[in-house]
């Protein structure tokens, strides 16, 4: 398939402009987690927060101030890599629904943007579980301050899912519901942002489109009963339904996150790549056959969690 045909098919598959910064390649683990096995959460080794989030904020929000110079995408990722280089093997990556000029200015809110700015921030510490983390809530809260103070996001337009007993719980259903609503609410001219800080995993690929033979996953707080969220699910519920004219930026601070949004173009800040390139294994036919899911179907997920809570409350009264 020629580049022109490929670009046309991708624009139909992914109408929005979607960009994702990930902390590491699919085959790498993030700094505060180890290998995700069969499946038990790994030992976080005492890390307090995600290295990817911390590095990005050190570049873009040091001492809670925006940089005085305009940085390009490649400069942001390269500086992140320099920060990580001392203690970590992580290599930040940028994937995108369009072939970006990585030497153009980094932005979350494009110049001339006139629409609403919305965000979904997910921080999971897995409180009380094996492999408990300690810094994922702080990661998300720091990103929230950055979005509000630098990019003009309003608190009412930011949805936070934390397992802290106060915010909405980051269950599988609640995460999917929040992402679907973000896609449904976002209109042409709007800006969307997604941040995930928690465990990431992988499961055997069931359709042969993954270079490493595995689907990358998010690990919701209730993964033991509800299962993991595959990259195919994220495409189906978030990436595919997002409308043309929307700009979505995602920051995925978890293991095995390099292609977790299944985007067709990639730039790796490894010091060798100079430009963004096409993922030669990207299977447009797979995604053309996929039925993306719009927000109406998400109500069932939310109702499931509500009903579960009601049953628990009723059980308490019966005791």
199 is catalytic: yes
Count Cβ neighbours within 10 Å for each residue of 70-93 and write b for 16 or more, e otherwise.
Answer: ebebbbbbbbbbebbeeebebbbb
Q: Which residues contact 124 (CB under 8 A, 6 or more apart)?
A: 133, 136, 161, 162, 163, 170, 197, 198, 199, 219, 220, 221
Write down the catalytic residue from 254, 255, 256, 301. 255
151 is catalytic: no
Query: Could you give the C-alpha distances from 213 to 38, 149, 174, 235, 289, in angstroms and in order?
Result: 16, 41, 28, 18, 20
**Scanning the structure block, which residue is given the tokens 């408990």?**
132
Q: Contact, 213 vs 159, CB < 8 A? A: no
Write down the catalytic residue from 199, 254, 256, 301. 199
Q: Within 13 Å, how many C-alpha atoms sit on residue 294's CB side?
A: 7
Alpha helices by DSSP H, listed for 33-163, are 51-60, 73-85, 136-151
Q: Which region holds residue 240: left if phi is over 0, alpha if psi is between -120 and 50, else beta? A: alpha
- Count CB atoms within 10 A of the CB of residue 40: 11
Q: Which residues are catalytic?
A: 199, 255
């Amino acid at each position: 398939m020629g580049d022109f045909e490929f670009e046309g098919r991708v624009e139909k598959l992914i109408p929005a402009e979607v960009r994702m910064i990930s902390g590491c390649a699919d085959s790498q683990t993030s700094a505060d987690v180890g290998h995700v096995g069969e499946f038990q959460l790994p030992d976080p080794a005492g890390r307090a927060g995600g290295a990817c989030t911390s590095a990005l904020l050190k570049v873009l929000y040091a001492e809670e101030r925006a940089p005085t110079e305009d940085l390009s995408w490649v400069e942001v990722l390269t500086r992140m890599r320099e920060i990580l280089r001392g203690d970590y093997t992580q290599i930040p990556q940028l994937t995108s629904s369009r072939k970006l000029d990585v030497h153009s200015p980094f932005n979350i809110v494009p110049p001339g943007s006139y629409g609403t700015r919305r965000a979904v921030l997910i921080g999971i510490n897995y409180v009380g579980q094996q492999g408990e983390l300690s810094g994922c809530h702080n990661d998300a809260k720091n990103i929230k301050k950055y979005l509000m103070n630098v990019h003009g996001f309003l608190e009412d337009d930011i949805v936070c899912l934390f397992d802290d007993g106060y915010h909405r719980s980051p269950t599988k259903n609640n995460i999917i519901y929040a992402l679907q609503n973000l896609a449904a609410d976002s209109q042409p001219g709007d800006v969307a942002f997604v941040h995930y800080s928690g465990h990431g995993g992988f499961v055997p690929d069931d359709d042969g489109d993954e270079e490493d033979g595995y689907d990358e996953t998010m690990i919701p707080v209730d993964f033991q009963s509800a299962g993991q969220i595959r990259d195919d699910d994220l495409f189906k519920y978030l990436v595919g339904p997002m409308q043309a004219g929307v700009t979505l930026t995602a920051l995925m601070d978890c293991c095995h996150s390099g292609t977790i949004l299944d985007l067709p173009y990639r730039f790796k800040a490894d010091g060798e790549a100079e430009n963004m390139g096409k993922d030669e294994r990207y299977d447009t036919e797979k995604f053309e056959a996929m039925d993306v899911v719009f927000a109406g179907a998400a109500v069932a997920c939310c109702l499931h969690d509500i009903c579960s809570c009601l049953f628990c409350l009723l059980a308490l009264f019966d005791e």
